């Protein structure tokens, strides 16, 4: 008899009626628990008007991983959303009048946060899958990030390329459960380019930090245009978009960018990469006492102990792009370095020209790399070792620590009443996850983007039962491909799907 549909055997023929009923009941229960049979919840239409003032939605009966110790976790509980905000978290909430989202068999947790993603490169996805950061003279590495992505492709972007790349990258990551991003747009060749970034981030409807980094050419107005951008687009704090100032220390005059960022009272973010020869300048800034709690340092590979100590003492934040750092020769991801100094890093995807931007890859990479180092030391007989990272640790890096790093933890990063409702529902009954035996473990060690069932940003449902809402992906894909065709042609780079 088929264990999924119960067919192939008539009751009473070779099996007692009682046995048949027992088997059928067992099959039914097992199938329902594992998500193989569509539940009533899966037939439910996407609730309309979510996120609007006074609109109440009850996410009912999920496995709640709040990431807030004061709230705790629940094997089975509800999350009540009122308009943009989380109103309550707990079992059996009284929510008369609220629309119900059935969450049985789903993990309910805060949306993921990516603290460094160059979304303008979406049309270049996988172009540099085998590439490293800079030219090392080895023929196999002739196609590298600096000479191709930055010096060839990025130079030819038009505002319309910026827009579609940013929008598509943003929607794709929303689909993967990333409800907040810091977009590092090093593409500000003119104020029109900058406005295109902002418009795309707005149109994506995701919580986004506009990272105002550099641009090149005669029309570039970086960094001074930061004042116009801030007053035009970011005058209110009560919106999904906020702004961060890019302050790359490899760009002459970076001191002015830092000054403008601090004048505007927004965080100052920068790449800190040993491979790029940044260590002397970074040391000077450290010694001059220039680091602050408003700094976001990306990668932090190959830096001195002194600079690390100053960054920790200043309360600066570190964003680690672990798979990219390993893949592209940034230097070893300094996970343990940060932890030893009491710094809690966030995770970031960096560039999709070389690696996927899904949060599960980030979490698994950080966890397995740190454990590989500690395990190797344990096997060598060393004592008093650092604690092994747990699945809960890396979920925290990918949620709450990201929110803290971006100065958004009053709004997002955990399921805390009063915060905005950035929530993901992950399918724990899916074929790659069931049966559920440990919630954080299942999220980190088993799940991937196909398990992202439903996504809510500031109370508004943006993905419902596996499908992104309010996005014509077929049309946008066409626009992205057209942009891709233009970029390759204008940059003079042949598109070879099987390049060696």
Positions touching Zn ion (CB under 5 A) are 350
How many helices (H) and strands (E) in the chain? 15, 17
Closest listed residue to residue 58, CA positions, set 22, 91, 20: 91
Would strands 106-110 and 99-102 be described as parallel, antiparallel, or unpaired? unpaired
Report CA 162 to chain centroid distance, whole Å. 20
| Residue with Cβ nearer Zn ion (350 or 479) | 350
175 in Cβ contact with 167 (< 8 Å): no
Distance of closest approach, residue 118 Cβ to Zn ion, in angstroms: 6
Q: Other C-beta atoms within 10 Å of 144: how many?
A: 20
Give the whole-angstrom CA distance, residue 309 versus residue 447. 36
Q: Which is nearer to Zn ion, 27 or 321 (CB)?
A: 321
Taking the least distance from each CB to Zn ion, the nearer of 225 and 350 is 350
- 297/316 Cα distance (integer angstroms): 7
Residue closer to Zn ion by CB (options 87, 350) is 350
CB of 491 to Zn ion, least distance (A): 19
Using CB positions, name the residue nearest to Zn ion: 350
| Nearest distance, CB of residue 298 and Zn ion, angstroms | 6
Give strand ranges (E) for 302-392.
Answer: 317-320, 346-347
Alpha-carbon dihedral angle through residues 160, 164, 169, 171, given to the nearest 10 degrees: 140
Which is closer to Zn ion, CB of 350 or CB of 422?
Answer: 350
Q: Give 66 or 354: the residue with its C-beta nearer to Zn ion.
A: 354
Alpha carbon distance 447, 444 (integer Å): 6
Beta strands at 241-246 and 346-347: parallel, antiparallel or unpaired: unpaired
Please identify, using beta-carbon distances, which residue of 166 and 350 lies nearer to Zn ion. 350
Cα three-residue angle 126-112-396, rounded to 5 degrees: 115
Q: How far is the CB of 351 from Zn ion (least distance, A)?
A: 6
- Cβ 319 to Zn ion, closest distance in Å? 9
**CB 422 to Zn ion: min, Å:** 23
- Count Cβ atoms below 10 Å from residue 158 Cβ, excluding itself: 16
Give 292's DSSP letter.
-
- 20 vs 210 by CB, closer to Zn ion: 210
Q: What is the pairing mode between strands 452-457 and 460-464?
A: antiparallel
β-bridge mates for residue 185, sequence order: 212
Checking DSSP bridges between strand 423-427 and strand 452-457, what pairing results, if any? antiparallel
Q: What does 124-164 look like in DSSP terms, one character per residue? A: GTTTTTT--SS--S-GGG-S-IIIIIIIIIGGG--HHHHHH
CB of 275 to Zn ion, least distance (A): 12
Query: From the CB of 325, what's the least distance to Zn ion, in Å?
Result: 10
Q: Does residue 360 come out as left (phi exceeding 0), alpha (psi in the -120 to 50 range) or beta?
A: alpha
Smallest gap from Cβ 489 to Zn ion, in A, equals 26
Q: Supply the minimum distance, in Å, between the C-beta of residue 186 and Zn ion.
A: 8
Q: Which is nearer to Zn ion, 205 or 323 (by Cβ)?
A: 323
**Based on CB atoms, which residue is closest to Zn ion, 102 or 350?**
350
DSSP run (H or E) holding 327 = helix 322-328
**Calpha distance 1→208 (Å, rounded):** 52
Nearer to Zn ion, 294 or 350 (CB): 350
Q: What are phi and psi of 153, to 5 degrees?
A: -65, -50
Least distance between Zn ion and beta carbon 371 (Å): 25
């Amino acid at each position: 008899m088929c264990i999924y549909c119960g067919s192939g055997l008539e009751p009473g023929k070779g099996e007692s009626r009682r046995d048949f009923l027992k088997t059928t009941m067992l099959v039914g229960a097992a199938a329902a628990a594992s998500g193989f049979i569509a539940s009533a919840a899966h037939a439910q239409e996407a609730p309309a008007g979510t996120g609007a003032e006074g609109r109440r939605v009850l996410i009912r009966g999920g496995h709640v991983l709040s990431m807030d110790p004061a709230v705790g976790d629940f094997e089975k509980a509800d999350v009540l959303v009122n308009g943009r905000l989380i109103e309550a978290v707990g079992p059996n909430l009284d929510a008369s009048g609220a629309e119900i989202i059935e969450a049985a068999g789903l993990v309910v947790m805060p949306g993921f946060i990516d603290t460094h993603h160059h979304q303008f490169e979406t049309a270049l996805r996988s172009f540099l899958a085998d590439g490293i950061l800079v030219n090392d003279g080895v023929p196999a590495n002739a196609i590298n990030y600096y000479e191709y992505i930055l010096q060839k492709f990025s130079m030819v972007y038009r505002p319309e390329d910026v827009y579609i790349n940013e929008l598509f990258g943003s929607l794709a990551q929303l689909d993967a459960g990333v409800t907040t991003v810091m977009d590092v747009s090093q593409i500000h060749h003119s104020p029109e380019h900058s406005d295109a970034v902002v418009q795309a981030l707005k149109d994506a409807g995701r919580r986004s930090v506009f990272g105002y980094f550099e641009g090149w050419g005669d029309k570039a107005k970086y960094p001074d245009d930061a004042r116009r951008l801030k007053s035009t687009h970011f005058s209110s704090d009560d919106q999904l978009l906020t702004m961060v100032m890019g302050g790359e220390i490899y760009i002459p005059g970076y001191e002015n960018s830092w000054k403008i960022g601090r004048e505007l009272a927004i965080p100052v973010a920068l790449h800190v990469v040993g491979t790029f020869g940044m260590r002397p300048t970074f040391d000077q800034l450290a010694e001059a006492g220039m680091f602050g709690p408003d700094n976001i340092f990306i990668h932090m590979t190959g830096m001195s102990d002194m600079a690390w100590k100053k960054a920790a003492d200043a309360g600066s934040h570190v964003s680690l792009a672990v798979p990219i750092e390993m893949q592209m020769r940034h230097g070893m991801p300094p996970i343990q370095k940060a932890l030893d100094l009491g710094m809690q890093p966030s995770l970031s995807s960096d560039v999709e020209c070389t690696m996927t931007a899904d949060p599960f890859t980030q979490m698994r990479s950080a966890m397995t790399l740190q454990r590989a180092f500690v395990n190797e030391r344990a096997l060598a007989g060393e004592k008093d070792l650092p604690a092994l990272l747990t699945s809960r640790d890396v979920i925290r890096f990918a949620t709450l620590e990201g929110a803290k790093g971006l100065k958004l933890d009053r709004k997002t990063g955990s399921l805390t009443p009063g915060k905005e409702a950035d929530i993901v529902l992950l399918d724990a009954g899916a074929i790659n996850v069931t049966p559920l035996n440990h919630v954080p473990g299942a999220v980190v060690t088993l799940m991937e983007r196909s398990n992202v069932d439903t996504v809510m940003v500031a109370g508004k449902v943006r993905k419902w039962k596996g499908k992104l809402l309010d996005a014509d992906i077929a049309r946008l894909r066409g626009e992205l491909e057209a942009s891709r065709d233009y970029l390759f042609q204008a940059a003079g780079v042949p598109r070879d799907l099987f390049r060696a």
